[in-house]
Each structure stands twice: as C-alpha cells, then as structure tokens.
Chain A
Amino acid sequence: MNLLLVLQNILAIGVPFSVALLLAALGEMFNQRAGVFNLGCEGIMAMGAFLGFLPSFLLKGGALAPWAPAIGIACAALAGVLLGLLFGLVTVSFRAPQGIAGIGLQMLGWGTAGTLSRHFVGGVTGIPGIDAWPIPGLSKIPFLGPILFSMTPFGYFGFLMVPISWYVLFKTPWGLKVRAVGTHPRAADTMGTNVARTRYQALMLGGAMAGLAGAYLSLAQAKMFADDIVAGRGFIAVALVYFGRWHPLYILGGSLLFSIAQSFQLAIQVLGIDFPYEFAVMLPYVLVILVLAFAKNSRLRGPAELGKPYNREKRV
C-alpha cells in the first residue's frame, strides 16, 4: 500500500513534468516533418520561460496580477514565433546548414533570456504561477485522479495538443503540405505548394509551441525563472522526435517515459535513499543516448529530406 502511494506520488509529479517536453517535441515534430531540424528549440524554450515569467514578476501584487500568466503565455508564444521566423530566414531562405544554425539560435535565445533576466529580475525570485485546477469528480478517482486530473489548465492543454497535432498533421490540407515538403519538396513545389512558406509556417508553429513549453516550465512547473531552467529539455525534445518516429502518439509515450524517469530522481532525494543525486540527474540524459542508439534505423521512416535546404532554382 505504501509502495502504491510512492508510485502515485512519482507519477503525480512525473506526468505534469512531461508537458514541457511534450509541447516542445510536438512543435519540433512539425519542424522536422516539414524538413527542418531545429536544434534551437532549447534557446526558444529559454526565451519562452523568461517571457512567461516576466509579467508575473513585474505585476506581482498589482491589479493586473491575475492576468499576468495569460500575458506571459502570449508573450512566450509570440517570441517563439519570431525566433522560428529568424530560424526560417537563416535555414530556409539562406539555406544555411541547420545543425550548426540551431546551435547558434540556442546560444542566442539562452543568452538573451539570461541577459534580460539579470537586468530586469536580478536573482532568482518566485512567482505565484498557475495553480492546479483539479477537475471536479475525476480528480477524486483513486490513484488516477491525483495523477491525471489534478494538473494546471496549462497541463491539460499540453495533453490536448497530442490529438490536435495528430489531426492537423494527418487530417488537414496544411498537414498534407507539411508532410510533402519534408519528403519531396520539389514534387510539392511543382504541385503548387510553396515550400518555403510551408516550412516557415511549420517553424512558426514549432517555435510557438517551444515558447509555450518554456512558459510552462516557469509558470506551472517551477514557478520561478533561472538561467538554466530549461536544462537541456529542448535537446531532449529533439531526441524525442526521433524516438517517437515523428508521430504524436509515440512522442507522448516518450515524453512520459522521460519525465517519469526525472521524477524518480526527485523521489530518491525525498525518500532519503543514499544515492548520489548527481547520478540521478544524469539519468534522463543517459536515457536519451541509449534511446538514440537503439532507435537508429528509424531514420528510414522519417521525412526523407530532413535537414536539407530546398533550392527551387537548383539544376537537377
């Protein structure tokens, strides 16, 4: 019985933890489905986390305070869109190599968030953040209630994005275009799909979702902002897209796996088990490497033109 309670606690922490990974990975999925490999996800999340946090910090105690999280979320999404546009400019319009450009975007986003936070905030400060909103009735279900139905509204939104992403990708004309430009951009182009525009749109959507993922970290998960709040989640999200074979359902599975692994680490500390916590912190990162090593052939199923710039005027 006690063990069950421990498990419930681990999951009750782990499941909401997965939202940030999930949002970022679903966004990255759209990028990659369209053929763009955006490693800048980490940097966009850092900006999202900071901008999500900032209104709550500035408006603390003021009349507008209840609206602060909403303003923050909007700012985070907007910043994500803008950084997605910037990445599109560099990789789609200028056709720069995507891997290294992504590292550039990561530094830019991370550095900007750090610079602005030192200037506007100074040290680490807490904010009220977004409160949990247990669903009446459902949250009372034993075991499952505290795990699945006691999250913040932001958390429910994150899980709702799984079916929405699936629908958009497979059941809408836009999703069809996204899949086409990632697989055979020239064919899509000759059939009247604007490859650059579709990739830009996917990058903007992916950026917005990465921004939201960051805002989730600062507003709903940690309720504060620190320079290293993202701590590699953006990169893990990119790895999850590979692991999840570019499909929303598998990506959901991957996100849950990783976040539950992370909450184990907390459980170890809370339960006072004598295990160096540094090794516990390492766990998700080691897991990513293992997953990548064993999911190696999944590339065959991925978008064929992933990572390759498209140049209509190039002679074939």
Chain B
Amino acid sequence: MAKNADRITELRVEGITKRFPGTLACDAISLRVGEGEALALVGENGAGKTTLMNILMGLYQPDEGKIFINGSPVRFRTPNDAYAAGIGMVHQHFMLVPNMTVAENVALGSAELRGRFRLNLGAARARIRQISERYGLAVLPDAYVWQLSVGEQQRVELVKTLCFGAKFLILDEPTSALTPQETDELIALLSRMTADMPLIFISHKLAEVKALSNKVTILRAGRVAFSGDTADHSSADLAALMTGHEVKLPCNECADGCGETLLAVRDLKVRSDRGHYALDGASLEVRAGEILGLAGVSGNGQRELADALAGLRSAESGSIALAGTELSGLAPRQIIGAGMGYIPEDRQTEGIVPSFSVSENLTLKDFASPRFAAGPFLRLKAADANAAELKKRYDIRCPSTATPAGSLSGGNIQKVILARELARGPKALVAVYPTRGLDMGAEEFIHKRLLELRCEGVAVLLISEELDELMNLSDRIAVIYKGRILATIPAQEATRARLGALMAGLREEEGATA
C-alpha cells in the first residue's frame, strides 16, 4: 500500500494483462501519468480502456502486471484499496444508488463520514458543501439520485469521488451522456482540476482529447499502439493511430431516392415504467429508401418509442402506421408479420436467446412458418441449411451453427440478429443503438448493410447517440427531447452544434415540426 502522501505525483502501470473468456482485453499495457498531467486514453470500443481502468480501481484483478504509485508498488484487491491509495473514478455508468440521497451515497463510500454505529449524515453533507464550493459544482445533498437529470448525476458522481479524498482521478467517457454545452463546462472544470491532481481521461471524442489532455495514449486491441504529447499530433493523426489505418466509414452518398412514407408515427403518447409520459405526442415519418436518424440524449423517450414500435409497450394515444397498416394495439407477432424488422438495444438479452444455438436464433421469428415447420413439427434440417447459408452470407464467425449464440462476440451476435432480420425482407427496420460497444470492423459492416437496405427501398429508423454515425448514414435527422420530436432536419444541414442545441432542448425558430 502506498504511503498516505498528500499528493500522487506519479502513477505507473507496467505490463498489465487481463483475459476474459475468448478475448484478451488488456495485453501487457504500460503507461505513466505524472504531476499536473492529464492523460487521454483513447481507443475504439473494445480496445481495453475500461477494463484497464477497472483494474486500476481494484474492481478486476489483473492476470499479470504491476501498478506503482509514487514509485512504490501497490496491489488493489478491492475498490477500497484503490480509494485508500487516493484513486477516484468517475464511471461511465454512474455508480450511484438511485433510491438513496446524494449524502447517503457519499456516506456509503466513506467510513469516516458516516459514523461507526449510528448513521450520521451531517459530516457527509458538510463535505459535499465544502467540495461543491471549492470546485463550483452545485449539488443538493438531500436530493434523491433518481430525481436528478443525467447532467446532475454526472456532477454528483464527480463530487462523490472528490468527497472520498481522491488525489488522482480516472474519468471513463464522462461526456458520453452530456449535451455539447454540458460537455464544454465539464472540460473547462477538469482543466482547472489538473493543477490539483493528475487525471486519466477516457474518450473517443478527439476534440475533447485535444482540449483537455497534454498527453495521449492510444490503445488498440488491448495493446498500447501509441504514446506521446497531445500537442504534437493533429486529430486526424490520432484518428489514424486509433484504428490502425485510415478509416473511412461508409457514408450516405447516393442520391435521394426516397419514395412515399412507409412508417408513420403520429402524436404518440406512451408511458414509461415510472408512469409519466415518456413519449408525449411524438410524430415522425420514414419514407421508403430513407434512413431517418433519431438523435437525442438517452432517456428522452427513445427506449419507449422503440418498445412501442415493437408492440411491447402500448400506446396511450396516437398511431403507428406501416405501409398503411395501423400497428398500434397489435401484438408483437402481428407487427412482425406486417413487415417490421427490429434490431433491439440489448443484443445479449433482447436480440438473441443466449442459450439457443446460432441456428435456432436465426429462425427465432420464423420457426413456425412453413419453411421451418411441417405442421407442428420443426424442420431442423431446413433450419440448419438456412443457418449455414446466412453464416456464409453475413460472415458470422462461429465454430458451428450449433454453438450457443450467447458465446459469440458482440459483433457476431449483432450479425446473427442482422442476418435474421434482413433475411425476412422487412418493409421497415428499426435499429436501436446498433453499433454500441462494437469494434470498428463490425461497425463498418453494419453501416454498409443499413445503407444497402436503404437502396433496396426499406424505411430505416436509426436510433443512436453517436452524432457521427447519424450524420454519416441518415438522410434526415430527427431530434427527440423529453418525449417530443423537437425538429427534423436534412442531414446535409445538420452540424454538431445545431444538433447539440436541439438535444439540449433549445427549440429552433424554423424547421421545428414537433
């Protein structure tokens, strides 16, 4: 254990290796952060950034490698050890207990702030006030976490970490759920904090990397691909280093071939699990041969819209029409039958049955059709032949089509889902965060397929929070905010700033169709 020095002047990691079933998440990674430095850790999804940080937090045990603080070796068996050594982490998915107050959350993490036998929240409240004044982070100690907005929770997460006495900060994609304006504020704050404590900052947004960090380390497939000073390299250089080659994700370049409206949602009102209107009169139209992107900070009704389109959440009022057929009120089975394709948000549990074979998963929606069943009996041979063909056509990498689908990598699972949906020849396709957490190769594959679908005249609704993905693929982009479509703008006219303002709920004078 490191001595309780006042400051952490150096954090060094040497040869960290961590394996997960089937993957090598970190492969002999070494890096160093010194006093006054902000290290940006960049890399694609799945490059091993989060795994490395979870090792630094004592959440995962490394299979090999060592960590040094101020020159002396440390070993973190639990997150407690890491805290004791002065390391604090702001997680991408906030580590806050939602049904507790901010003060209770802080008390949970700090033995000295909560008292021994009697819970004393006074000390926690005082510490919260002290930290919020010092860094200008307004936080109400007695608010329940679940009542706070995403931006506020982000602030609480940071304050919480500082309350625990962090002397070194790790931030895992801290801006991923923020609007562009909130992002700017956070970056400014973090730059000020660098003077007090070194920090590691994970991101794949190169603009932020340039703005905040003075050193950058790029991870690729679990290895350090590059380390150097941020100032010496342009964003374009970094992007190339990140992926290992010049990346050119496919773009929506062919001419506007849109036909008539295929999928139309009008004045849809849907309640969330908590009972309020998550969709509050949303309307949008997707035409044949068009990709409509739906942008928005997550939690603004995307989930409920997707559920309603799948028939899994009933609409209070309003209509959903696919090629003239009214879908609201229909069962999922009927909606599928009407020609709706669907790529669900959580591929592991919504897109596939993990314990079923690849072959079974590929017939999950058609197992009772004459093609795969003779009367009540399954035609297993037909299903296997179908699987063999789709495996080839969609380049699904699996030992055999009898392998349980849950054991495949994320990219291959997504290919299984895509193969199943596209082979059914849908009229419209709803894709919910289709590339989230996938590597660049899989992302490229999926983008290509979506563009092909567009050319075949399918109406595609792409729900995503990656602005680049939306701007590259879409014909038009709709922005959802608090359950309403604030505006729908042609993709050529969309800029990050304009979309950012809309995502933050700033209504435009023109183009507002909500």
* Physical contact A–B (CB less than 8 Å): yes
Contact of B119 among A175, A183, A186, A192 (CB under 8 A): A175
Which segment, of A247-255, A261-269, A308-316, faces chain B? Answer: A308-316
Contact A313-B79, Cβ < 8 Å, known A172-B119, A191-B95:
no
Does B367 have its Cβ within 8 Å of any Cβ on chain A? Answer: no
- Tell me if A186 and B114 are in contact (CB < 8 A): no
Residues of A within 8 A of B61 (CB): 313
- Tell me if A173 and B115 are in contact (CB < 8 A): yes
Contact A193-B108, Cβ < 8 Å, known A172-B119, A173-B119, A313-B60:
yes
- Tell me if B97 and A187 are in contact (CB < 8 A): yes
Contact A187-B95, Cβ < 8 Å, known A176-B104, A192-B80:
yes
B80-114 interface (Cβ within 8 A of A): 80, 83, 89, 91, 93-100, 104-105, 107-111, 114
**Binary A-proximity of B186-221 (CB < 8 A = 1, otherwise 0):** 000000000000000000000000000000000000
Q: How many residues of A contact B (CB 8 A)?
A: 26
Query: Which has the most chain A C-beta neighbours within 10 Å: B105, B108, B116, B160?
Result: B108
Does B334 have its Cβ within 8 Å of any Cβ on chain A? Answer: no
CA gap between A175 and B160 in the complex, in Å: 20
Residues of B within 8 A of A184 (CB): 95-98
Does B377 have its Cβ within 8 Å of any Cβ on chain A? Answer: no
Does A190 have its Cβ within 8 Å of any Cβ on chain B? Answer: yes
A167-199 interface (Cβ within 8 A of B): 170-173, 175-177, 179-180, 183-184, 186-194
Residues of B within 8 A of A176 (CB): 100, 104, 107-108, 114, 119
Does B59 have its Cβ within 8 Å of any Cβ on chain A? Answer: yes
Does B118 have its Cβ within 8 Å of any Cβ on chain A? Answer: yes
- Tell me if A189 and B79 are in contact (CB < 8 A): yes
A185-220 interface (Cβ within 8 A of B): 186-194
A73-129 interface (Cβ within 8 A of B): none
Residues of A within 8 A of B78 (CB): 189, 192, 194
- Tell me if A312 and B97 are in contact (CB < 8 A): no
Residues of A within 8 A of B97 (CB): 179-180, 183-184, 187-188
Residues of A within 8 A of B105 (CB): 187, 191
- Tell me if A189 and B99 are in contact (CB < 8 A): no
Residues of A within 8 A of B160 (CB): 191
CA gap between A16 and B296 in the complex, in Å: 58
Q: Report the contact-size class of chain B (Cβ under 8 Å from the partner).
A: 35 or more
Q: Nearest Cβ in chain A — how far from B460, in angstroms?
A: 29
CA gap between A252 and B160 in the complex, in Å: 36
- Tell me if A191 and B98 are in contact (CB < 8 A): no
Q: Nearest Cβ in chain B — how far from A229, in angstroms?
A: 37
Residues of B within 8 A of A194 (CB): 78, 80
B253-295 interface (Cβ within 8 A of A): 273
- Tell me if A190 and B89 are in contact (CB < 8 A): yes
Q: Nearest Cβ in chain B — how far from A107, in angstroms?
A: 27
Closest B-chain residue to A167, C-beta based?
A: B118
B163-203 interface (Cβ within 8 A of A): 164
CA gap between A189 and B54 in the complex, in Å: 12
Residues of B within 8 A of A186 (CB): 95
- Tell me if A315 and B20 are in contact (CB < 8 A): yes
Residues of B within 8 A of A179 (CB): 97, 99-100
Residues of B within 8 A of A172 (CB): 117-119
Residues of A within 8 A of B114 (CB): 173, 176
CA gap between A82 and B207 in the complex, in Å: 57
Does B405 have its Cβ within 8 Å of any Cβ on chain A? Answer: no
- Tell me if B117 and A190 are in contact (CB < 8 A): no
Q: Nearest Cβ in chain B — how far from A237, in angstroms?
A: 24
13 A-B pairs within 8 Å (CB atoms) are namely: A171-B118, A176-B104, A180-B108, A183-B100, A184-B95, A184-B96, A187-B96, A190-B59, A191-B83, A191-B105, A192-B110, A193-B109, A304-B98
Report, nearest first, the 10 A-B pairs whose CB atoms are least far apart. Answer: A191-B109, A192-B80, A187-B95, A190-B95, A184-B97, A173-B114, A180-B97, A190-B79, A171-B119, A183-B97
What residues of chain A have their CB less than 8 Å away from a CB belonging to chain B?
170-173, 175-177, 179-180, 183-184, 186-194, 300, 304, 312-313, 315-316
Q: A173-B117, A186-B95, A187-B94 are in contact. List 15 more A-B contacts (CB 8 A).
A: A172-B118, A172-B119, A173-B119, A180-B100, A187-B97, A189-B79, A190-B79, A191-B160, A192-B79, A192-B83, A192-B109, A192-B110, A193-B108, A304-B99, A313-B60
